[in-house]
Amino acid sequence: MTMREVLLEQLAAIYDENNWFVCYEMSIQDLEEYQVHERSEDEQTHSIAELLNHLYFYNYRYLCRFRGEEIDELPRYYDTFQNHGSLSWRQIAVNNSVVFAEFRKEIKRCSDDKLEKWAATLSHLFIHNAYHIGQVVHIRKQFGTWSLSPVVRG
């Protein structure tokens, strides 16, 4: 299996194909507005909306970097979990899906040299996504909003 195939498989697993764990698309399926803002009594945990903001923040920045685009420097104490714009959680969710789809296109068409240079970074980014997607599923289970039964490899 080539590096490109491995990265595309990892991307599919976090984006739109259930595998060893639930993918992003399934993790947010059928969510209602109030559900994305629920949080446990432990104030140190994030809501689903905050996790989606965080994922979009990093995924978009890394996509821009991967494309060679300039990205703005951030204030020292920038909170990546907060929505710093006027986008709804649904739009953030859609934006995440767009970024995942764009990553798929970029990985398919980039040079082998570029892919080799970025392989570890992309792999770590995808692991970061898997971690937070797992948190989304955990929060949904905690609040009784998880009724989906994915077919997952075992």
Supply angle C-alpha 93, 132, 64, rounded to 5: 60
Domain boundaries, the chain: 3-29+46-71+79-143
Backbone dihedral region for residue 20 (phi beyond 0: left; psi -120 to 50: alpha; all else: beta): alpha
Over residues 28-54, the pLDDT tens digits come to: 999 999 999 998 887 778 999 999 999
Tell me the average pLDDT across 124-133: 97
- In the DSSP assignment, the letter for residue 41 is S
Per-residue confidence at 152, pLDDT binned at 50, 70, 90?
Answer: low
Please check whether residue 130 is in contact with residue 22, taking contact to mean a CB–CB distance below 8 angstroms: no
Please tell me the pTM assigned to this model. 0.91
2 phi and psi angles, rounded to 5 deg: -80, 165
Helices (H), 68-144: 89-109, 112-142
Helix (H, G, I), strand (E, B), or coil: what is residue 134?
helix
